[in-house]
């Protein structure tokens, strides 16, 4: 394949990325010879496509090549993220230390630590502590709802209720607000708790498919 053909295809990939059409971007990407690729921006966008399509091994291979030449915040962020998804916790923690050296105050540090601890099966109180720290730095509906679930699993029911109320009041609308409302309804319901749990699972399925 000529260099010109590669450029044309890379432009098409960028267009599909801008539309969040990662499936089409991946189909085009699979026809490109990446050995001749050297532009860092192109490589970064290709990593984005691989991650969006859960092709983490390929994303990691490309990230390693980028990491050898340049250790930027974005590359380290992606290395931590992909390593966690692959269950490579030792590498994830090593890259996270480097990431912290560059941006020690970034709120995503708490998210990464939480994800690692959760996948390693660390005690719930340790997971809760990280998300509580995150909440003091950056209040995010997804992780606040995750915190509410951890409270519930830990039998901290009043804390769970309060967290759900905070989500509803603070964010007003959205998927996690709806989930928080359903969880609150679960506490208040005397009967038909099964249907409430089913609704929570349905909303979780909607999120995973978007």
Is pLDDT above 90 for 200?
A: no
Domain assignment of residue 2, yes or no: no
pLDDT of residue 127: 98
pLDDT of residue 209: 45
pLDDT, mean over the chain: 90
Domain assignment of residue 181, yes or no: yes
Q: pLDDT tier at 82 (50, 70, 90 boundaries)? A: very high
User: For the chain, what is the total number of helices (H) and then of strands (E)?
Assistant: 12, 0
DSSP conformation class of 174: S
Cβ(128)–Cβ(159) below 8 Å: no
pLDDT of residue 208: 47
pLDDT of residue 99: 97
Q: What is the largest CA-CA distance in the chain?
A: 68
pLDDT, one tens digit per residue, over 113-153 is: 999 999 999 999 999 999 999 999 999 999 999 999 999 99
Domain assignment of residue 132, yes or no: no
pTM: 0.85
How many domains does the structure of the chain reveal? 1
pLDDT, one tens digit per residue, over 9-24 is: 999 999 999 999 999 9
Cα–Cα dist 67/200, whole Å: 40
pLDDT of residue 186: 80
pLDDT, one tens digit per residue, over 25-45 is: 999 999 988 887 778 888 999
Cα–Cα dist 164/119, whole Å: 24
Q: Which of 33-47, 116-130, 174-188, 189-203 has the lowest mean pLDDT?
A: 189-203
Is pLDDT above 90 for 7?
A: no
Is pLDDT above 80 for 205?
A: no
pLDDT of residue 210: 41
Domain assignment of residue 45, yes or no: no
Cβ(94)–Cβ(78) below 8 Å: no
Domain assignment of residue 194, yes or no: yes
Is pLDDT above 50 for 206?
A: no
Domain assignment of residue 65, yes or no: no
Domain assignment of residue 24, yes or no: no
Domain assignment of residue 206, yes or no: yes
Find the domain containing 200 and state its range: 139-210
């Amino acid at each position: 394949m000529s260099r010109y053909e590669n450029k044309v295809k890379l432009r098409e990939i960028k267009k599909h990325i801008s539309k969040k059409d990662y499936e089409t971007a991946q189909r085009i990407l699979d026809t490109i010879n990446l050995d001749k690729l050297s532009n860092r921006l192109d490589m970064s966008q290709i990593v984005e496509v691989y991650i969006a399509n859960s092709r983490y091994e390929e994303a990691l291979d490309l990230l390693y090549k980028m990491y050898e030449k340049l250790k930027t915040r974005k590359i380290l962020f992606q290395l931590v993220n992909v390593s966690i998804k692959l269950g490579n916790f030792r590498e994830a923690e090593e890259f996270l230390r480097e990431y912290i050296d560059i941006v020690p105050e970034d709120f995503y540090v708490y998210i990464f630590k939480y994800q690692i601890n959760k996948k390693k099966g660390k005690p719930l109180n340790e997971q809760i502590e990280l998300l509580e720290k995150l909440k003091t730095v950056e209040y995010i509906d997804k992780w606040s709802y995750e915190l509410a679930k951890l409270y519930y699993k830990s039998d901290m029911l009043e804390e769970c209720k309060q967290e759900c109320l905070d989500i509803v009041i603070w964010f007003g609308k959205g998927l996690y607000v709806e989930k928080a409302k359903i969880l609150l309804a679960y506490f208040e319901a005397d009967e038909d708790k099964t249907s409430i749990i089913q609704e929570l699972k349905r909303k979780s399925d909607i999120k995973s498919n978007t």
